[in-house]
Amino acid sequence: MTTFAELGLAPDILRALDEMGYATPTPIQEQVIPLALKGGDILGAAQTGTGKTAAFALPLIQRLLPFANSGTSPAKHPIRALILTPTRELAIQVEESVKAYTRHVPLRSLVVYGGVNINTQIPILKTGIEILVATPGRLLDHVQNKTLMLNQVNTLVLDEADRMLDMGFMPDLKRIVALLPTQRVNMMFSATFPEEIRKLADSILNTPTFIEVARNETAVTVTQVMHPVHHERKRQLLAHLIKSRDLRQVLVFTGTKLGCNRLANELNKAGIHADAIHGDKTQQERIKALDAFKAGTMRVLVATDVAARGIDIEALPYVVNYDLPHNAEDYVHRIGRTGRAGALGEAISLVSESETRYLKDIEKLIGSPLEPVIVPGFEPGAADVPAYESRPPRPDRHAERPERLDRPERRERSAPRPRPAPRDALFDAPYEQSSAPSVASAPTLVRQPPKKQVAALFRSPVKPDTAES
Ligand code: AMP
CA-to-CA dists, residue 50 to 93, 122, 137, 206, 319, angstroms: 14, 33, 27, 24, 17
Neighbour order of strands in the sheet with 155-158: 109-112, 131-134, 81-84, 155-158, 185-190, 42-45, 209-212
- Beta-strand ranges (E) seen in 256-371 are 274-277, 300-303, 318-321, 345-351
Residue 242 CA to ligand 1 center (angstroms) comes to 27
Tens-level pLDDT at each residue, the chain (469 residues): 789 999 999 999 999 999 988 888 988 999 999 999 999 999 998 877 788 999 999 999 999 999 998 888 888 999 999 999 998 889 999 999 999 999 999 999 999 999 888 998 999 999 999 999 999 999 999 999 999 999 999 999 999 998 898 888 999 999 999 999 999 999 999 987 888 888 999 999 999 999 987 544 555 567 889 999 999 999 999 999 999 999 989 999 999 989 999 999 999 999 999 999 887 888 788 888 888 998 889 999 999 887 776 566 666 789 999 999 998 888 887 887 776 555 568 899 999 999 999 999 998 888 788 888 999 899 887 654 433 223 333 333 333 333 232 332 233 333 344 433 332 222 222 222 223 322 222 222 222 223 333 344 444 433 343 333 2
Q: How far is the CA of 213 from the centre of ligand 1 (A)?
A: 14
Closest listed residue to residue 357, CA positions, set 464, 262, 454: 454
pLDDT at 338: 72
Nearest CA to ligand 1 atom 6: 49
Closest CA to 189 of 163, 207, 166, 167: 163
Q: What pLDDT sits at residue 220? A: 52
Look at residue 278 in the predicted model and tell me its pLDDT.
85
Q: Which atom of ligand 1 is nearest to the CA of 53?
A: 3
46 Cα nearest atom in ligand 1: 2
Q: Which atom of ligand 1 is nearest to the CA of 310?
A: 4
**CB crowding 159-197: b at 16 or more within 10 Å, else e:** bbbbbbbbbebbebbeebbeebeeebbbbbbbbbbeeeb
Tell how far the Cα of 121 is from the centroid of ligand 1, in angstroms.
Answer: 27
**Using an 8 Å Cβ cutoff, are 160 and 189 in contact?**
yes
| pTM of the entire predicted model | 0.57
pLDDT of residue 180: 97
The reply to whether 5-212 and 222-384+452-468 are identical in fold is yes
- DSSP secondary structure code for residue 22 in this structure: -
The β-bridge partners of 185 are: 155
Domain borders along the chain are: 5-212, 222-384+452-468
Say what the pLDDT of residue 368 is: 82
Q: 222-384+452-468 belongs to which CATH class?
A: alpha beta
The helix (run of H) or strand (run of E) holding residue 253 is strand 250-253
Q: Measure 234 CA to ligand 1 centroid, in angstroms.
A: 32
Distance, CA 51 to ligand 1 centroid (Å)? 4
Ligand 1 centroid, distance to 208 Cα (angstroms) = 24
Task: Give the number of the atom of ligand 1 that is nearest the alpha carbon of residue 100.
Answer: 12
145 CB-near residues (< 8 Å, 6+ apart): 118, 122
Burial environment of residue 255 by CB neighbours within 10 A (0 to 12, 13 to 18, 19 or more) = middle
Q: Are 420 and 438 spatial neighbours (Cβ–Cβ below 8 Å)? A: yes
If 0-12 CB within 10 Å is exposed, 13-18 middle and 19+ buried, where does residue 414 land? exposed
Write down the pLDDT at residue 399.
32
Q: What is the CATH number of domain 5-212?
A: 3.40.50.300
Q: How far is ligand 1, taken at its centre, from the CA of residue 55, in Å?
A: 9
- Do residues 315 and 420 make contact, with C-beta atoms less than 8 angstroms apart? no
Give the separation between CA 313 and CA 191, rounded to whole angstroms.
20
Q: Which of 14, 26, 28 should be mutated for ligand 1, with most atoms under 8 A from CB?
A: 26
If you take atom 11 of ligand 1, which residue's CA is the nearest one? 51
Q: How far is CA 329 from CA 144, 159, 177, 342, 359, in A?
A: 36, 16, 28, 21, 11
The predicted structure's pLDDT at residue 445 = 21
4 three-class SS: coil
- Give residue ranges with CB within 6 A of ligand 1: 22, 25-26, 29, 48-54, 312, 314, 340-341
Beta-carbon contacts of 21 under 8 Å, excluding residues fewer than 6 positions away, are none
Nearest C-alpha neighbor of 254 from the set 314, 301, 298, 296: 301
Rounded Cα–Cα distance for residues 70 and 89 (Å)? 29
